[in-house]
Chains A and B, each alone.
Chain A
Amino acid sequence: MPAGWPRVILYASLASLVVLGLVSGIVLFLVYLERRVLGRLQARIGPNRVGPWGLLQTTADALKLLTKEDIVPAEADRILFVLAPLVVFFGAAMAFAVVPAGPRLVLVDLGVGVLFVVGMGSLAMLGYLMAGWASHSKYSLLGGMRAVAQLVSYELPLTLALLGVVILSGSLAATRIVEVQRHGWFILLQPLGFFIYFTAGLAEINRSPFDLPEGESELVGGYHTEYSGMRWALFFLAEYAGVFSLSALAATLYLGGWLGPWLPGPVWLLLKTFALVFAIIWLRGTWLRPRLDQLLSFSWKFLLPLSLVNLAFTAAEVYFLRWLGVA
Protein backbone atom coordinates (compact mmCIF):
# COMPACT_ATOMS: atom_id res chain seq x y z
CA MET A 1 0.00 0.00 0.00
CA PRO A 2 1.48 3.41 -0.97
CA ALA A 3 2.26 5.97 1.73
CA GLY A 4 -0.74 8.23 1.06
CA TRP A 5 -3.38 5.65 1.95
CA PRO A 6 -3.52 5.96 5.76
CA ARG A 7 -4.20 9.67 5.31
CA VAL A 8 -6.99 8.97 2.82
CA ILE A 9 -8.56 6.46 5.18
CA LEU A 10 -8.24 8.76 8.20
CA TYR A 11 -9.86 11.71 6.40
CA ALA A 12 -12.57 9.50 4.96
CA SER A 13 -13.31 8.11 8.44
CA LEU A 14 -13.64 11.59 9.92
CA ALA A 15 -15.86 12.71 7.05
CA SER A 16 -17.99 9.54 7.35
CA LEU A 17 -18.54 10.11 11.06
CA VAL A 18 -19.50 13.74 10.45
CA VAL A 19 -21.99 12.67 7.75
CA LEU A 20 -23.49 9.91 9.94
CA GLY A 21 -23.79 12.34 12.86
CA LEU A 22 -25.43 14.95 10.65
CA VAL A 23 -27.84 12.40 9.22
CA SER A 24 -28.91 11.24 12.69
CA GLY A 25 -29.35 14.82 13.88
CA ILE A 26 -31.32 15.78 10.79
CA VAL A 27 -33.55 12.71 11.12
CA LEU A 28 -34.42 13.64 14.70
CA PHE A 29 -35.27 17.14 13.52
CA LEU A 30 -37.28 15.82 10.55
CA VAL A 31 -39.49 13.68 12.75
CA TYR A 32 -40.15 16.71 14.94
CA LEU A 33 -40.82 18.89 11.89
CA GLU A 34 -43.21 16.34 10.42
CA ARG A 35 -45.20 16.05 13.64
CA ARG A 36 -45.46 19.82 13.96
CA VAL A 37 -46.43 20.40 10.31
CA LEU A 38 -48.92 17.53 10.35
CA GLY A 39 -50.36 19.00 13.51
CA ARG A 40 -50.88 22.33 11.76
CA LEU A 41 -52.42 20.62 8.74
CA GLN A 42 -54.87 18.81 11.01
CA ALA A 43 -55.72 21.96 12.98
CA ARG A 44 -53.97 20.90 16.17
CA ILE A 45 -50.71 21.95 17.79
CA GLY A 46 -48.40 18.93 17.76
CA PRO A 47 -45.65 18.18 20.32
CA ASN A 48 -44.70 21.32 22.28
CA ARG A 49 -43.86 20.17 25.81
CA VAL A 50 -40.34 18.69 25.84
CA GLY A 51 -37.74 21.46 25.47
CA PRO A 52 -38.32 24.81 23.74
CA TRP A 53 -41.20 24.47 21.21
CA GLY A 54 -41.08 20.73 21.83
CA LEU A 55 -37.73 20.49 20.02
CA LEU A 56 -36.42 17.76 22.32
CA GLN A 57 -39.48 15.53 21.89
CA THR A 58 -37.84 13.24 19.32
CA THR A 59 -34.63 13.04 21.35
CA ALA A 60 -36.70 11.81 24.27
CA ASP A 61 -38.43 9.31 21.97
CA ALA A 62 -35.07 8.02 20.74
CA LEU A 63 -33.87 7.53 24.32
CA LYS A 64 -37.05 5.65 25.15
CA LEU A 65 -36.59 3.37 22.15
CA LEU A 66 -33.02 2.67 23.22
CA THR A 67 -34.19 1.27 26.56
CA LYS A 68 -37.27 -0.53 25.24
CA GLU A 69 -37.45 -4.30 25.40
CA ASP A 70 -36.59 -5.99 22.13
CA ILE A 71 -38.81 -8.85 21.05
CA VAL A 72 -37.92 -11.48 18.48
CA PRO A 73 -41.03 -13.63 17.96
CA ALA A 74 -40.50 -17.30 18.80
CA GLU A 75 -41.57 -18.44 15.33
CA ALA A 76 -39.49 -15.89 13.41
CA ASP A 77 -36.51 -16.74 11.23
CA ARG A 78 -34.00 -15.26 13.64
CA ILE A 79 -31.06 -14.52 11.35
CA LEU A 80 -33.11 -12.78 8.64
CA PHE A 81 -35.14 -10.97 11.30
CA VAL A 82 -32.03 -9.48 12.88
CA LEU A 83 -30.35 -8.70 9.57
CA ALA A 84 -33.30 -6.93 7.88
CA PRO A 85 -33.14 -3.54 9.66
CA LEU A 86 -29.39 -3.38 9.05
CA VAL A 87 -29.88 -3.89 5.31
CA VAL A 88 -32.64 -1.28 5.12
CA PHE A 89 -30.62 1.31 7.01
CA PHE A 90 -27.48 0.60 5.00
CA GLY A 91 -29.32 1.20 1.74
CA ALA A 92 -30.83 4.43 3.02
CA ALA A 93 -27.55 5.81 4.36
CA MET A 94 -25.51 5.15 1.21
CA ALA A 95 -27.26 7.90 -0.77
CA PHE A 96 -25.59 10.49 1.45
CA ALA A 97 -22.15 9.43 0.23
CA VAL A 98 -22.60 11.09 -3.15
CA VAL A 99 -24.74 14.20 -2.44
CA PRO A 100 -22.45 17.22 -2.85
CA ALA A 101 -22.89 20.28 -0.62
CA GLY A 102 -20.24 22.20 -2.58
CA PRO A 103 -17.75 21.76 -5.43
CA ARG A 104 -15.35 19.87 -3.16
CA LEU A 105 -17.66 19.30 -0.21
CA VAL A 106 -18.72 15.74 -0.95
CA LEU A 107 -17.92 12.47 0.79
CA VAL A 108 -17.25 10.49 -2.39
CA ASP A 109 -17.14 12.18 -5.79
CA LEU A 110 -18.12 8.96 -7.49
CA GLY A 111 -17.95 8.85 -11.29
CA VAL A 112 -21.08 6.67 -11.41
CA GLY A 113 -22.88 8.60 -8.63
CA VAL A 114 -26.40 8.52 -10.06
CA LEU A 115 -26.27 4.82 -10.87
CA PHE A 116 -24.89 4.08 -7.40
CA VAL A 117 -27.78 5.90 -5.74
CA VAL A 118 -30.32 4.01 -7.82
CA GLY A 119 -28.71 0.69 -6.95
CA MET A 120 -28.53 1.40 -3.24
CA GLY A 121 -32.11 2.66 -3.28
CA SER A 122 -33.33 -0.74 -4.38
CA LEU A 123 -31.29 -2.49 -1.69
CA ALA A 124 -33.96 -1.45 0.80
CA MET A 125 -36.45 -3.64 -1.06
CA LEU A 126 -34.40 -6.68 -0.10
CA GLY A 127 -34.51 -5.60 3.54
CA TYR A 128 -38.29 -5.13 3.49
CA LEU A 129 -38.79 -8.56 1.99
CA MET A 130 -36.44 -10.10 4.57
CA ALA A 131 -38.32 -8.38 7.40
CA GLY A 132 -41.72 -9.35 6.04
CA TRP A 133 -40.80 -12.96 5.46
CA ALA A 134 -38.75 -13.53 8.61
CA SER A 135 -41.41 -12.17 10.99
CA HIS A 136 -43.68 -15.16 10.36
CA SER A 137 -46.75 -12.96 10.69
CA LYS A 138 -49.41 -12.51 8.05
CA TYR A 139 -49.41 -8.72 8.30
CA SER A 140 -45.64 -8.63 7.89
CA LEU A 141 -45.68 -11.01 4.94
CA LEU A 142 -48.30 -8.95 3.12
CA GLY A 143 -46.39 -5.77 3.86
CA GLY A 144 -43.12 -7.22 2.60
CA MET A 145 -44.74 -8.56 -0.57
CA ARG A 146 -46.40 -5.22 -1.23
CA ALA A 147 -43.07 -3.47 -0.74
CA VAL A 148 -41.44 -5.65 -3.39
CA ALA A 149 -44.28 -5.22 -5.91
CA GLN A 150 -44.23 -1.46 -5.37
CA LEU A 151 -40.48 -0.97 -5.47
CA VAL A 152 -40.07 -3.16 -8.52
CA SER A 153 -42.75 -1.17 -10.35
CA TYR A 154 -41.54 2.30 -9.42
CA GLU A 155 -37.84 1.71 -9.90
CA LEU A 156 -38.28 1.68 -13.68
CA PRO A 157 -39.80 5.17 -14.09
CA LEU A 158 -37.30 6.47 -11.54
CA THR A 159 -34.25 5.19 -13.41
CA LEU A 160 -35.67 6.23 -16.78
CA ALA A 161 -36.48 9.74 -15.55
CA LEU A 162 -32.89 10.19 -14.38
CA LEU A 163 -31.70 9.41 -17.91
CA GLY A 164 -32.95 12.85 -18.95
CA VAL A 165 -30.57 14.51 -16.49
CA VAL A 166 -27.73 12.27 -17.63
CA ILE A 167 -28.30 13.16 -21.29
CA LEU A 168 -28.33 16.89 -20.58
CA SER A 169 -25.22 16.86 -18.40
CA GLY A 170 -23.33 14.07 -20.16
CA SER A 171 -22.17 12.68 -16.81
CA LEU A 172 -23.23 10.45 -13.91
CA ALA A 173 -21.20 12.33 -11.29
CA ALA A 174 -23.33 14.50 -8.98
CA THR A 175 -20.77 17.35 -8.80
CA ARG A 176 -20.59 17.59 -12.58
CA ILE A 177 -24.39 17.54 -12.89
CA VAL A 178 -24.64 20.51 -10.52
CA GLU A 179 -21.88 22.44 -12.35
CA VAL A 180 -23.73 22.07 -15.65
CA GLN A 181 -26.80 23.64 -14.03
CA ARG A 182 -24.96 26.96 -13.68
CA HIS A 183 -26.67 27.90 -16.98
CA GLY A 184 -30.14 26.93 -15.77
CA TRP A 185 -31.72 24.45 -13.40
CA PHE A 186 -32.70 21.15 -14.94
CA ILE A 187 -36.25 21.43 -13.65
CA LEU A 188 -36.76 24.06 -16.38
CA LEU A 189 -35.60 21.64 -19.08
CA GLN A 190 -37.03 18.54 -17.39
CA PRO A 191 -40.36 19.41 -15.78
CA LEU A 192 -41.73 15.98 -16.69
CA GLY A 193 -38.58 14.25 -15.49
CA PHE A 194 -38.76 16.02 -12.15
CA PHE A 195 -42.40 15.04 -11.69
CA ILE A 196 -41.67 11.39 -12.50
CA TYR A 197 -38.55 11.27 -10.36
CA PHE A 198 -40.25 12.81 -7.35
CA THR A 199 -43.38 10.64 -7.60
CA ALA A 200 -41.47 7.41 -8.12
CA GLY A 201 -39.02 8.46 -5.39
CA LEU A 202 -41.88 8.80 -2.92
CA ALA A 203 -42.90 5.24 -3.79
CA GLU A 204 -39.30 4.02 -3.38
CA ILE A 205 -39.10 5.32 0.18
CA ASN A 206 -42.65 4.15 1.05
CA ARG A 207 -43.95 7.59 1.85
CA SER A 208 -47.62 8.42 1.63
CA PRO A 209 -49.54 8.39 -0.58
CA PHE A 210 -47.42 5.32 -1.42
CA ASP A 211 -47.13 3.87 2.09
CA LEU A 212 -49.00 0.65 1.34
CA PRO A 213 -46.26 -1.65 2.68
CA GLU A 214 -46.96 -0.15 6.11
CA GLY A 215 -50.63 0.79 5.69
CA GLU A 216 -51.41 0.92 9.41
CA SER A 217 -55.16 0.92 8.95
CA GLU A 218 -55.05 -2.51 7.25
CA LEU A 219 -51.70 -4.14 8.06
CA VAL A 220 -50.97 -2.76 11.58
CA GLY A 221 -47.40 -1.84 10.62
CA GLY A 222 -46.78 -3.97 7.56
CA TYR A 223 -43.27 -5.41 7.38
CA HIS A 224 -42.28 -3.92 10.76
CA THR A 225 -45.31 -5.17 12.72
CA GLU A 226 -43.21 -7.55 14.82
CA TYR A 227 -40.29 -5.19 15.43
CA SER A 228 -39.73 -3.21 18.61
CA GLY A 229 -37.05 -1.20 20.35
CA MET A 230 -33.86 -0.30 18.53
CA ARG A 231 -34.53 -2.58 15.56
CA TRP A 232 -37.78 -0.76 14.91
CA ALA A 233 -35.93 2.54 15.39
CA LEU A 234 -33.54 1.55 12.59
CA PHE A 235 -36.48 1.13 10.18
CA PHE A 236 -37.76 4.50 11.30
CA LEU A 237 -34.34 6.10 10.93
CA ALA A 238 -34.05 4.63 7.44
CA GLU A 239 -37.44 5.99 6.42
CA TYR A 240 -36.64 9.55 7.43
CA ALA A 241 -33.11 9.31 6.07
CA GLY A 242 -34.87 8.30 2.83
CA VAL A 243 -37.10 11.39 2.94
CA PHE A 244 -34.05 13.57 3.37
CA SER A 245 -31.91 11.87 0.74
CA LEU A 246 -34.73 11.90 -1.82
CA SER A 247 -35.18 15.64 -1.28
CA ALA A 248 -31.45 16.31 -1.30
CA LEU A 249 -31.00 14.31 -4.51
CA ALA A 250 -33.95 15.99 -6.21
CA ALA A 251 -32.47 19.35 -5.19
CA THR A 252 -29.07 18.31 -6.54
CA LEU A 253 -30.23 16.85 -9.83
CA TYR A 254 -33.04 19.25 -10.72
CA LEU A 255 -32.82 22.39 -8.56
CA GLY A 256 -29.16 23.28 -8.98
CA GLY A 257 -27.86 21.74 -5.73
CA TRP A 258 -25.51 24.10 -3.92
CA LEU A 259 -25.75 26.83 -6.59
CA GLY A 260 -27.26 30.16 -5.60
CA PRO A 261 -26.29 33.76 -4.96
CA TRP A 262 -25.04 35.41 -1.71
CA LEU A 263 -25.44 32.48 0.69
CA PRO A 264 -22.83 29.68 0.96
CA GLY A 265 -23.45 26.44 -0.96
CA PRO A 266 -24.47 24.11 1.89
CA VAL A 267 -27.09 26.64 3.04
CA TRP A 268 -28.63 26.71 -0.45
CA LEU A 269 -28.68 22.93 -0.59
CA LEU A 270 -30.39 22.74 2.81
CA LEU A 271 -32.95 25.41 1.86
CA LYS A 272 -33.91 23.61 -1.35
CA THR A 273 -33.94 20.25 0.41
CA PHE A 274 -36.19 21.44 3.20
CA ALA A 275 -38.58 23.03 0.72
CA LEU A 276 -39.01 19.56 -0.83
CA VAL A 277 -39.22 17.89 2.60
CA PHE A 278 -42.04 20.26 3.44
CA ALA A 279 -43.81 19.29 0.22
CA ILE A 280 -43.49 15.60 1.16
CA ILE A 281 -45.01 16.22 4.60
CA TRP A 282 -47.76 18.29 3.01
CA LEU A 283 -48.56 15.41 0.65
CA ARG A 284 -48.83 13.06 3.60
CA GLY A 285 -51.24 15.42 5.31
CA THR A 286 -53.54 15.81 2.33
CA TRP A 287 -53.48 12.69 0.11
CA LEU A 288 -55.37 9.44 0.39
CA ARG A 289 -53.75 6.05 0.11
CA PRO A 290 -54.66 4.30 -3.18
CA ARG A 291 -55.48 0.60 -3.55
CA LEU A 292 -52.58 -1.69 -4.43
CA ASP A 293 -53.81 -2.44 -7.97
CA GLN A 294 -54.37 1.27 -8.63
CA LEU A 295 -50.88 1.95 -7.36
CA LEU A 296 -49.28 -0.62 -9.66
CA SER A 297 -51.34 0.45 -12.69
CA PHE A 298 -50.31 4.04 -12.13
CA SER A 299 -46.66 3.07 -12.48
CA TRP A 300 -46.87 0.57 -15.36
CA LYS A 301 -49.57 2.23 -17.42
CA PHE A 302 -48.84 5.89 -16.81
CA LEU A 303 -45.41 6.68 -15.34
CA LEU A 304 -43.44 4.15 -17.37
CA PRO A 305 -44.74 5.23 -20.82
CA LEU A 306 -44.44 8.84 -19.68
CA SER A 307 -40.80 8.38 -18.73
CA LEU A 308 -40.06 6.92 -22.17
CA VAL A 309 -41.77 9.95 -23.73
CA ASN A 310 -39.61 12.13 -21.51
CA LEU A 311 -36.53 10.36 -22.87
CA ALA A 312 -37.48 11.08 -26.48
CA PHE A 313 -38.41 14.64 -25.47
CA THR A 314 -34.98 15.16 -23.90
CA ALA A 315 -33.17 13.86 -26.97
CA ALA A 316 -35.19 16.25 -29.14
CA GLU A 317 -34.45 19.02 -26.67
CA VAL A 318 -30.69 18.54 -27.04
CA TYR A 319 -30.98 18.93 -30.81
CA PHE A 320 -33.23 21.97 -30.42
CA LEU A 321 -30.78 23.65 -28.02
CA ARG A 322 -27.94 22.90 -30.42
CA TRP A 323 -29.97 24.42 -33.26
CA LEU A 324 -30.52 27.54 -31.14
CA GLY A 325 -26.79 27.56 -30.49
CA VAL A 326 -27.15 27.59 -26.68
CA ALA A 327 -25.54 24.29 -25.81
Chain B
Amino acid sequence: MTPDAVAYVRLGVFMFWTVLFTLAALVMARLLRRNRPNPVKLSTYESGLVTRGETWVRFKTSYYLYALAFVIFDLETLFLYPWAVAFRRLGGFAAWEALLFVVTLLLGLGYAWREGALEWK
Protein backbone atom coordinates (compact mmCIF):
# COMPACT_ATOMS: atom_id res chain seq x y z
CA MET B 1 0.00 0.00 0.00
CA THR B 2 1.78 3.10 -1.17
CA PRO B 3 0.46 6.43 0.21
CA ASP B 4 -0.59 7.41 -3.31
CA ALA B 5 -2.64 4.25 -3.79
CA VAL B 6 -4.37 4.85 -0.46
CA ALA B 7 -5.14 8.45 -1.46
CA TYR B 8 -6.74 7.40 -4.75
CA VAL B 9 -8.77 4.63 -3.13
CA ARG B 10 -10.04 7.14 -0.55
CA LEU B 11 -10.92 9.51 -3.37
CA GLY B 12 -12.80 6.75 -5.16
CA VAL B 13 -14.73 5.96 -1.99
CA PHE B 14 -15.67 9.64 -1.60
CA MET B 15 -16.84 9.77 -5.23
CA PHE B 16 -18.96 6.66 -4.66
CA TRP B 17 -20.66 8.12 -1.57
CA THR B 18 -21.23 11.47 -3.27
CA VAL B 19 -23.10 9.79 -6.12
CA LEU B 20 -25.04 7.63 -3.68
CA PHE B 21 -25.89 10.72 -1.59
CA THR B 22 -27.43 12.54 -4.56
CA LEU B 23 -29.28 9.43 -5.73
CA ALA B 24 -30.65 8.90 -2.21
CA ALA B 25 -31.94 12.49 -2.15
CA LEU B 26 -33.70 11.98 -5.51
CA VAL B 27 -35.19 8.61 -4.51
CA MET B 28 -36.43 10.05 -1.22
CA ALA B 29 -38.08 12.93 -3.07
CA ARG B 30 -39.67 10.45 -5.48
CA LEU B 31 -41.25 8.54 -2.58
CA LEU B 32 -42.53 11.67 -0.86
CA ARG B 33 -43.77 13.88 -3.67
CA ARG B 34 -47.06 13.82 -5.51
CA ASN B 35 -47.07 13.26 -9.23
CA ARG B 36 -50.02 14.51 -11.28
CA PRO B 37 -48.73 15.62 -14.64
CA ASN B 38 -50.94 17.18 -17.30
CA PRO B 39 -50.08 18.48 -20.78
CA VAL B 40 -50.05 22.14 -19.73
CA LYS B 41 -47.81 21.46 -16.76
CA LEU B 42 -45.38 19.57 -18.96
CA SER B 43 -45.22 22.23 -21.65
CA THR B 44 -42.10 24.34 -22.09
CA TYR B 45 -42.05 27.44 -19.89
CA GLU B 46 -41.59 30.60 -21.86
CA SER B 47 -43.25 33.16 -19.61
CA GLY B 48 -46.75 31.91 -20.37
CA LEU B 49 -46.53 32.20 -24.15
CA VAL B 50 -46.70 29.23 -26.46
CA THR B 51 -43.17 28.43 -27.60
CA ARG B 52 -42.44 29.43 -31.20
CA GLY B 53 -39.80 28.30 -33.65
CA GLU B 54 -36.83 25.99 -33.25
CA THR B 55 -35.12 25.76 -29.87
CA TRP B 56 -32.27 23.40 -30.66
CA VAL B 57 -30.64 25.74 -33.16
CA ARG B 58 -27.02 26.06 -34.23
CA PHE B 59 -25.38 28.62 -32.01
CA LYS B 60 -23.28 31.53 -33.19
CA THR B 61 -19.78 31.12 -34.54
CA SER B 62 -18.00 33.42 -32.08
CA TYR B 63 -18.34 30.45 -29.79
CA TYR B 64 -15.97 28.48 -31.95
CA LEU B 65 -13.28 31.16 -31.76
CA TYR B 66 -13.51 31.36 -27.98
CA ALA B 67 -13.31 27.60 -27.74
CA LEU B 68 -10.20 27.52 -29.95
CA ALA B 69 -8.46 30.20 -27.89
CA PHE B 70 -9.46 28.35 -24.74
CA VAL B 71 -7.99 25.03 -25.86
CA ILE B 72 -4.68 26.68 -26.76
CA PHE B 73 -4.31 28.51 -23.48
CA ASP B 74 -5.55 25.62 -21.37
CA LEU B 75 -2.91 23.34 -22.86
CA GLU B 76 -0.31 26.00 -22.22
CA THR B 77 -1.31 26.19 -18.58
CA LEU B 78 -1.07 22.43 -18.23
CA PHE B 79 2.48 22.53 -19.61
CA LEU B 80 3.37 25.21 -17.08
CA TYR B 81 2.22 23.20 -14.04
CA PRO B 82 5.13 20.72 -13.93
CA TRP B 83 7.47 23.62 -14.58
CA ALA B 84 5.97 25.55 -11.64
CA VAL B 85 6.31 22.60 -9.24
CA ALA B 86 10.00 22.20 -10.10
CA PHE B 87 10.75 25.91 -10.50
CA ARG B 88 12.85 26.32 -7.34
CA ARG B 89 15.03 23.32 -8.20
CA LEU B 90 15.55 24.34 -11.82
CA GLY B 91 18.23 26.80 -12.88
CA GLY B 92 17.82 30.21 -14.45
CA PHE B 93 17.72 28.63 -17.91
CA ALA B 94 14.30 27.07 -17.22
CA ALA B 95 12.95 30.47 -16.17
CA TRP B 96 14.05 32.05 -19.47
CA GLU B 97 12.65 29.13 -21.42
CA ALA B 98 9.25 29.49 -19.76
CA LEU B 99 9.35 33.23 -20.37
CA LEU B 100 9.95 32.60 -24.06
CA PHE B 101 7.04 30.13 -24.07
CA VAL B 102 4.68 32.58 -22.37
CA VAL B 103 5.74 35.48 -24.61
CA THR B 104 5.05 33.38 -27.71
CA LEU B 105 1.55 32.74 -26.43
CA LEU B 106 1.07 36.39 -25.55
CA LEU B 107 1.87 37.17 -29.18
CA GLY B 108 -0.84 34.67 -30.13
CA LEU B 109 -3.30 36.35 -27.79
CA GLY B 110 -2.37 39.71 -29.29
CA TYR B 111 -3.01 38.34 -32.76
CA ALA B 112 -6.41 36.92 -31.78
CA TRP B 113 -7.23 40.25 -30.15
CA ARG B 114 -6.26 42.25 -33.26
CA GLU B 115 -8.19 39.92 -35.57
CA GLY B 116 -11.29 40.48 -33.45
CA ALA B 117 -11.64 36.87 -32.27
CA LEU B 118 -12.22 38.13 -28.73
CA GLU B 119 -15.23 40.27 -29.66
CA TRP B 120 -18.63 38.96 -28.67
CA LYS B 121 -20.89 39.93 -31.54
In the bound complex, what is the Cα–Cα distance between A67 and B30 (angstroms)?
8
The contact of A296 among B39, B77, B118, by CB within 8 Å, is: B118
Given contacts A66-B28, A108-B7, A163-B84, contact A16 B118 (CB under 8 A): no
Q: Which residues of B contact A318 (CB under 8 A)?
A: 87-88
**Which of A16, A160, A171, A301 neighbours the largest number of chain B CB atoms within 10 Å of its CB?**
A16
Chain A window 78-104, contacts with chain B (Cβ cutoff 8 Å), 1 for yes, 0 for no: 000000011001100110010000000
Given contacts A66-B32, A166-B81, A318-B87, contact A108 B14 (CB under 8 A): yes
Smallest distance from the beta carbon of B60 to chain A beta carbons, Å? 9
- Assess whether A163 is in contact with B81, with CB atoms less than 8 Å apart: yes
Given contacts A136-B56, A138-B51, contact A20 B18 (CB under 8 A): yes
Q: Which residues of A contact B42 (CB under 8 A)?
A: 71-74
Given contacts A109-B7, A141-B55, contact A305 B14 (CB under 8 A): no
Closest to B21 in A: A20
Q: Which residues of B contact A167 (CB under 8 A)?
A: 84, 87-88
- Assess whether A152 is in contact with B29, with CB atoms less than 8 Å apart: no
- Assess whether B74 is in contact with A156, with CB atoms less than 8 Å apart: yes
B93 within 8 A of A: no
A320 within 8 A of B: no
The contact of B36 among A69, A135, A153, by CB within 8 Å, is: A69
In chain A, positions 112-165 with a C-beta closer than 8 Å to chain B are 115, 133, 135-139, 141, 145, 148-149, 152-153, 155-156, 159-160, 163
Q: Which residues of B contact A230 (CB under 8 A)?
A: 25-26, 28-29, 33
Smallest distance from the beta carbon of A3 to chain B beta carbons, Å? 10
A13 within 8 A of B: yes
The contact of A170 among B23, B34, B59, B87, by CB within 8 Å, is: B87
Q: Which of A4-12, A199-207, A260-268 contacts B (4 or more CB under 8 A)?
A: A4-12
- Assess whether B13 is in contact with A75, with CB atoms less than 8 Å apart: no
- Assess whether B17 is in contact with A8, with CB atoms less than 8 Å apart: no
Closest to A92 in B: B18
A216 within 8 A of B: no
Chain A, interface size: which category? 35 or more
In chain B, positions 23-60 with a C-beta closer than 8 Å to chain A are 23, 25-26, 28-30, 32-37, 39, 41-47, 51, 55-56, 59
A300 within 8 A of B: yes
In the bound complex, what is the Cα–Cα distance between A141 and B85 (angstroms)?
40
Given contacts A16-B17, A301-B113, contact A136 B84 (CB under 8 A): no
Q: Which residues of B contact A231 (CB under 8 A)?
A: 26
In the bound complex, what is the Cα–Cα distance between A308 and B84 (angstroms)?
13
The contact of A97 among B14, B43, B74, by CB within 8 Å, is: B14
Q: Which residues of A contact B89 (CB under 8 A)?
A: 170
In the bound complex, what is the Cα–Cα distance between A220 and B44 (angstroms)?
13
In the bound complex, what is the Cα–Cα distance between A197 and B18 (angstroms)?
26
Given contacts A8-B1, A111-B7, contact A226 B119 (CB under 8 A): no
Q: Which residues of A contact B88 (CB under 8 A)?
A: 167, 170, 318
**A5-B1, A225-B45, A230-B26 are known contacts; what are 8 more A-B pairs with Cβ within 8 Å?**
A8-B1, A8-B10, A12-B14, A16-B18, A65-B29, A137-B44, A226-B45, A300-B118
Residues of A whose CB lies within 8 Å of any CB of B are 2, 4-5, 8-9, 12-13, 15-17, 19-20, 65-75, 85-86, 89-90, 93-94, 97, 107-111, 115, 133, 135-139, 141, 145, 148-149, 152-153, 155-156, 159-160, 163, 166-167, 170-172, 220, 225-226, 229-231, 233-234, 292-293, 296-297, 300-301, 304-305, 308, 311-312, 315, 318-319
* Pairs A–B under 8 Å by Cβ, sample size 23: A2-B1, A5-B1, A9-B9, A13-B17, A67-B32, A69-B34, A70-B33, A72-B42, A73-B44, A86-B23, A111-B4, A111-B7, A133-B56, A135-B44, A136-B56, A141-B56, A170-B85, A229-B29, A229-B33, A230-B26, A308-B106, A315-B87, A318-B88
